[in-house]
Amino acid sequence: MTPIISAIGFCSHTGKGDLSTLDEALRKVANTGANACEIGIYGEEIISGGRIIEGRAARVAEIVGAYDFDKLSLHGQIVSNFMDRRHIDLQKKVVRAMLELCNRLEAGILVHHSGAALLGAGENGADLDQLERDALREMADVAKGYGVRIALENIFTTESGQYRQTPRQVAETVRAIGHENVVALIDFSHAYIESTYRGLDFRDELRAMAPVTGHLHLHDSFGLPYTMEKFYHPAEATTLGIGDLHLPLGWGDIDWEGIFSELTFLPDTTILMEIGAERFEAEQKESLERARKLADLVNQRRAAA
């Protein structure tokens, strides 16, 4: 029986775009004892105008090939947005290239951010939902050819007047597409922040997403939207507890044990922790041990069912 949680690891930190830190970043993840890694491929100069740069791609393949993670995933563009009418063709072109990179690197998941836009005259959220769903269906067929799943990640509102799907609506998009190569990705801190911002029940939003979720991003926070415009150092945001902090597990107030004692996800789901090796390398092993216990809560419940 395939376990619900099949691998646990970390997202690698990104460098300057010249591949100089990629090997070090992967080595740091491997040295924790994690068996999964998510590469922030968006931060490396591998794709130009939607085309893969072959020399760079070969170097990436060589670097990645030296590591033996059970599960590898790629994090696509932070700016990926299938609600971007003006650039939708470019957006799809880049995702096609990212899916091809997944195939070359034997990465089974491409992380893709759910969309957002400011509503134009006569436009409503349903129009944007349809634009995103049509693009995702098209990319899902491409992903199927590579044996890759697109993981649609919930994000939080970043500006006033923005149309952004709630976690529950992200799940509805995945269900509406109904394609085996598109799953939801729960980012728990993002869901917490958006729930606070919109006055939603955080745990109810997670319950709505869980049944169609096949990838998880864990990092802690206090679920507080950005209410200050500027911090001079990331530590100041941590001190105040404001925003998307990417903290080690236990530094915020997310009830991890309560959540994982209740929720069940799709079989073969991977836990990736986005806690930032640059700032919190010393805390990674502790977070890994806690994540393993969280996975046990899910897997043991399924085994006993």
Choices 3.20.20.150, 3.40.50.720, 1.10.760.10, 3.30.70.920: CATH for 5-304: 3.20.20.150
pTM of the model: 0.97
* Pure H helices in the chain: 22-31, 54-65, 88-105, 125-146, 167-177, 188-198, 202-209, 234-240, 256-262, 277-280, 284-304
Tens-digit pLDDT string for the chain (305 aa):
789 999 999 999 988 888 999 999 999 999 999 999 999 999 999 999 999 999 999 999 999 999 999 999 999 999 999 999 999 999 999 999 999 999 999 999 999 999 999 987 888 899 999 999 999 999 999 999 999 999 999 999 999 889 999 999 999 999 999 999 999 999 999 999 999 999 999 999 999 999 999 999 999 999 999 998 789 998 999 999 999 999 999 999 999 999 999 999 999 999 999 997 789 999 999 999 999 999 999 999 877 77
CA dihedral sign, ordered 44, 50, 53, 58 = positive
pLDDT of residue 303: 77
Q: 200 in helix, strand or coil? A: coil
Q: Where are the domains of the chain?
A: 5-304
